[in-house]
Chains A and B, each alone.
Chain A
Amino acid sequence: QVQLVESGGGVVQPGGSLRLTCAASGFTFSNFDIHWVRQAPGKGLEWVAIISYDGTYKFYSDSVKGRFTISRDNSKTTLFLHMDSLRAEDTAVYYCARSCGGDCYPGLDYWGQGTLVTVSS
């Protein structure tokens, strides 16, 4: 079955860096665009970034542009989010989510359980 498992979250000081990982299994990873979506504690969902199936296309929200970098390694079926210059407002659970193929595109059809990033001194 489709599985997405995030890791790499933790506590980091303002201005610090962190790299999140999303390990995918149960589907042909290299055929699907993948997103990062975050959720601040007790708040709603915020889209962060997308990377195309082959890594050639990337798009970011304005709130993270220039600070976060999305990348993927299709040979290892793994997605990454490198986060620099972290701010308190980046504190959130970070989810990776698969973009639907086929008719349900661009819905997000499978989500990981999320990894918590806390930015605090």
Chain B
Amino acid sequence: DIVMTQTPLSSPVTLGQPASISCRSSQSLVHSDGNTYLTWLQQRPGQPPRLLIYKISNRFSGVPDRFSGSGAGTDFTLKISRVEVEDVGVYYCMQGTQFPLTFGGGTKVEIK
């Protein structure tokens, strides 16, 4: 199985300041079809997860442009350019390149 490792575990951020989350996979996420199936999800307190980013850097419908994804191969990053109150929650990376789908352990974004 592909192991997904996220850092940091927790990210206290001042409102309006940027936040960055890293995700590393135990093997390359490049699929035989040439795509890299790395997604990011947000889970606000008490809510189900929500899709933010797919295929490394594509924002899902309705996701604010302060969220951006980057990376390649085994190393990926989610950035929030200016953290807002509604961004508080846990962020997960997930690989869909190979079954079983696997998630990172999560990064908690909270306001300082």
- List residues of chain A with CB under 8 Å of any chain B CB: 35, 37, 44-47, 50, 59-62, 95, 97, 100, 103-109, 111-114
Contact = CB atoms under 8 A, between A and B. Distances in A.
A61 B100 contact: yes
Given A100-B54, A114-B48, A107 B99 contact: no
Given A44-B103, A44-B106, A47-B101, A106 B48 contact: no
Contacts of B57: none
Given A44-B92, A47-B100, A107-B54, 4 more contacts: A106-B37, A107-B60, A108-B39, A108-B49
A108 B100 contact: no
B105 interface: yes
A104 B55 contact: yes
Contact of B96 (A44, A106, A113): A106
A106 B102 CA distance: 12
B49 A109 contact: no
Nearest to A45: B103
Given A44-B103, A47-B101, A107 B51 contact: yes
B103 A47 contact: yes
A114 B58 CA distance: 26
Given A100-B54, A112-B48, A59 B103 contact: no
B50 interface: yes
Contacts of B30: none
B54 A113 contact: no
Among B1, B51, B90, residue most surrounded by chain A Cβ atoms (within 10 Å): B51
